[in-house]
């Protein structure tokens, strides 16, 4: 099938490339010339494991190309996916900014030829697909098309695996022929028995928000339980096992940490709350999850301060990991971007390392943070080490060496990577999240 992907951001690029890997012929379009030039030259603007090789393979096999020209990309397409950004609006009210979606709808309308499905891949409020349909009909009354919603559930850092082996595919459709066409797009997954949830467009749009909100609630739940564990002297790791093995609860997303971050949970929880407000409803459980998440970051600042004897002023802190999670260079809403400025402001010296995110971090973090070439350089002469992001390369550090090069052997493990007893035996003053 001939597919056009509008937007070569994270979702568009991964999805377009994976569709090409399925055997479809995919054209990815973006307005940013520089990005398209880079992609045409084989350079991938984001870090996502395996993506560079998959792009190169599909380009060389003639199934994937990049252009800025809609006229070159849209007329032949049987399916046009819209995967442009939906950031929080600049008004700061939490609403999703749909400017780019509506602009894309307007721009593709006049180039549609023959029956085409227009699929919203971006995370959009309920009713957006209908607006897209209205815009296209107004621009081009002759256009023969259907709109559909096909939310994505990809995790950064594991996006290709998530795409190729999803738990389910959700499609929101309103006609048999659009359903048929979307099923054809995902045909290779049906051969692997991937369940498909076919529903109304509105249900599909809301399903995406509900999924992310539920996961955010789950993380905030375990973070709050972790705080209770600290107070009562219980162990959250064992507790998470104890509840997670119950199939009704499930063990995933029960890892306490410095709070969820990234481009999705923080933005989508706020957008969902705004959507329900418009309908005169409220989602108090999601509101609570958002509050708990910001409190969690403040709690982490206090934890670090306490471990430094009550004040971070004049102390050197080595920070391992800056991105919101491992295997990405993404710094959007990373807990580090809240926690580190708070420490810096109170007079701490911060020496940080991240395997992939230091270039991005410089844009998100205030001046004054020192970026080190490896984990050990960050730990050297420090009064405390904070493990912020659980990159694999921080899971087997030479701890004896670290203890030797630190000024004070204080290890603050915000991802519970290390075993408390082992750390104690090594002579560290160690603290995790929700463990004794
Ligand atoms: C999330 C969802 O997991 C995807 O299904 C969804 O498609 C995506 O948002 C999106 O809407 O595009 P992502 O933001 O890439 O994916 O990352 P996650 O792996 O979900 O992690 C989000 C945050 O939660 C990270 O900061 C992570 O450290 C934190 N987290 C996750 C925890 O603190 N504890 C956990 O147990 C799990």
Q: Quote the tokens at residue 215.
A: 């996961």
Strands of 143-193, DSSP E: 145-149, 169-172
CA of 205 to the centre of ligand 1 (A): 19
In this prediction, residue 66 has a pLDDT band, given cuts at 50, 70 and 90, of very high
Which pLDDT score, from 0 to 100, does residue 92 have? 77
Q: Which atom of ligand 1 is nearest to the CA of 154?
A: 7
255 lines ligand 1 (CB under 6 A): yes
Which pLDDT score, from 0 to 100, does residue 142 have? 96
**Which of 37-46, 84-93, 123-132, 341-350 is predicted least confidently?**
84-93
N-term to C-term CA, the chain:
56
CA–CA dist 431, 436 (Å, integer)? 8
Which pLDDT score, from 0 to 100, does residue 61 have? 98
Is 80 exceeded by the pLDDT of residue 9?
Answer: yes
Which pLDDT score, from 0 to 100, does residue 299 have? 98
**How confident is the prediction for the chain on average, in pLDDT?**
96
Which pLDDT score, from 0 to 100, does residue 40 have? 96
CA–CA dist 64, 58 (Å, integer)? 5
Is 90 exceeded by the pLDDT of residue 95?
Answer: no
CA–CA dist 100, 83 (Å, integer)? 9
Question: pTM of this prediction?
Answer: 0.94
Cα→Cα distances 195→22, 73, 120, 387, Å: 17, 31, 20, 38
Is 90 exceeded by the pLDDT of residue 371?
Answer: yes
379 lines ligand 1 (CB under 6 A): no
Helices marked H in 169-264 — which ranges?
A: 176-185, 187-190, 201-232, 236-244
CA of 187 to the centre of ligand 1 (A): 27
CA–CA dist 245, 130 (Å, integer)? 41
Q: What percent of the chain has pLDDT over 90?
A: 94
Is 90 exceeded by the pLDDT of residue 190?
Answer: no
Residue recorded with tokens 């996961």:
215
Is 80 exceeded by the pLDDT of residue 436?
Answer: no
CA–CA dist 425, 407 (Å, integer)? 18
The answer to whether the beta carbons of residues 241 and 254 sit under 8 Å apart is no
Residues with a catalytic annotation lie at 264
Average pLDDT over residues 189-195: 87
Which pLDDT score, from 0 to 100, does residue 89 have? 80
Is 80 exceeded by the pLDDT of residue 90?
Answer: no
Q: Which atom of ligand 1 is nearest to the CA of 151?
A: 7
Which pLDDT score, from 0 to 100, does residue 93 have? 80
DSSP state of 260: -
Average pLDDT over residues 385-393: 98
Show the domains of the chain with their CATH numbers: 2-199 (3.40.50.720), 215-431 (3.40.50.720)
> Which tens digits make up the pLDDT trace of 293-350?
999 999 999 999 999 999 999 999 999 999 999 999 999 999 999 999 999 999 999 9
Q: What percent of the chain has pLDDT over 70?
A: 100
Which pLDDT score, from 0 to 100, does residue 96 have? 81
Strands 316-320 and 349-353, bridge-based pairing:
parallel
Average pLDDT over residues 141-169: 96
Sequence-distant (6+) residues with CB within 8 A of 434 are 222, 223, 225, 226, 227, 229, 230, 235, 236, 237, 239, 256, 416
Which pLDDT score, from 0 to 100, does residue 58 have? 98
CA of 101 to the centre of ligand 1 (A): 24
> Which tens digits make up the pLDDT trace of 269-289?
999 999 999 999 999 999 999
Q: Determine whether 422 is exposed, middle or buried from the number of CB atoms within 10 Å of its CB (0-12, 13-18, 19+).
A: exposed
Which pLDDT score, from 0 to 100, does residue 434 have? 98
Choose the residue to mutate in 162, 206, 264, 388 for probing ligand 1, maximizing ligand atoms within 8 Å of C-beta: 264
CA–CA dist 175, 201 (Å, integer)? 10
Q: Which residues of 247-265 are buried (b: 16+ CB within 10 A; e: fewer)?
A: eeeeeebbbbbbbbbbbbb
Return phi, psi of residue 147, to 5°: -100, 155
DSSP state of 96: B
Q: Quote the tokens at residue 140.
A: 């081009």
Cα→Cα distances 383→304, 341, 352, 411, 422, Å: 11, 18, 13, 9, 20
Sequence-distant (6+) residues with CB within 8 A of 279 are none
> Which tens digits make up the pLDDT trace of 172-188?
999 999 999 999 999 99
Choose the residue to mutate in 18, 87, 96, 260 for probing ligand 1, maximizing ligand atoms within 8 Å of C-beta: 260
In this prediction, residue 161 has a pLDDT band, given cuts at 50, 70 and 90, of very high
């Amino acid at each position: 099938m001939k597919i056009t992907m509008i937007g070569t951001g994270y979702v568009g690029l991964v999805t377009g490339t994976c569709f090409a890997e399925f055997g479809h012929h995919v054209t990815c379009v973006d307005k940013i010339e520089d990005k398209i030039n880079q992609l045409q030259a084989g350079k991938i603007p984001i870090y996502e494991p395996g993506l560079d090789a998959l792009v190169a393979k599909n380009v060389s096999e003639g199934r994937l190309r990049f252009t800025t020209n809609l006229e070159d990309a849209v007329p032949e397409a049987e399916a046009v996916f819209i995967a442009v950004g939906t950031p929080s609006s600049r008004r700061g009210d939490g609403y999703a900014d749909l400017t780019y979606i509506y602009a894309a709808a307007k721009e593709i309308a006049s180039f549609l030829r023959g029956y085409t499905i227009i699929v919203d891949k971006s995370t959009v409020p309920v009713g957006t697909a209908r607006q897209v349909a209205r815009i296209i009909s107004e621009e081009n009354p002759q256009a023969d098309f259907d709109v559909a919603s096909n939310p994505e559930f990809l995790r950064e850092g594991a996006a290709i695996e998530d795409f190729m082996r999803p738990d389910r595919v959700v499609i929101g459709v309103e006609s048999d022929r659009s359903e048929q066409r979307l099923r054809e797009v995902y045909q290779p997954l049906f051969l692997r028995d991937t369940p498909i949830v076919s529903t109304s467009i509105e249900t599909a749009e809301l399903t995406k928000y509900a999924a992310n909100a539920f996961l955010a609630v789950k993380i905030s739940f375990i973070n709050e339980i972790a705080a209770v564990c600290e107070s009562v002297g219980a162990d959250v790791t064992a507790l998470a096992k104890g509840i997670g093995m119950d199939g009704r609860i499930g063990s995933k997303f029960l890892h306490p940490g410095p709070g969820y971050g990234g481009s999705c949970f923080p933005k989508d929880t706020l957008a969902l709350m705004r959507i329900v407000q418009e309908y005169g409803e409220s989602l108090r459980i999601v509101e609570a999850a958002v509050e708990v998440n910001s409190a969690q970051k403040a709690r982490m600042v206090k934890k670090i301060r306490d471990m430094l004897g009550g004040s971070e002023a004049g102390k050197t802190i080595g920070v391992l990991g800056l991105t919101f999670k491992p295997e990405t260079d993404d710094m959007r809403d990373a807990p580090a971007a809240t926690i580190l400025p708070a420490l810096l402001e109170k007079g701490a010296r911060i020496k940080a390392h991240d395997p992939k995110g230091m270039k991005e971090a410089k844009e998100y973090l205030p001046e004054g943070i020192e970026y080190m070439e490896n984990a050990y350089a960050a730990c050297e002469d420090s009064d405390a080490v904070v493990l912020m992001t659980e990159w694999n390369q921080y899971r087997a550090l030479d701890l004896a060496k670290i203890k030797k090069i630190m000024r004070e052997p204080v290890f603050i493990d915000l991802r519970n990577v290390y075993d408390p007893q082992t750390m104690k035996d090594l002579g560290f003053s160690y603290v995790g999240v929700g463990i004794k």
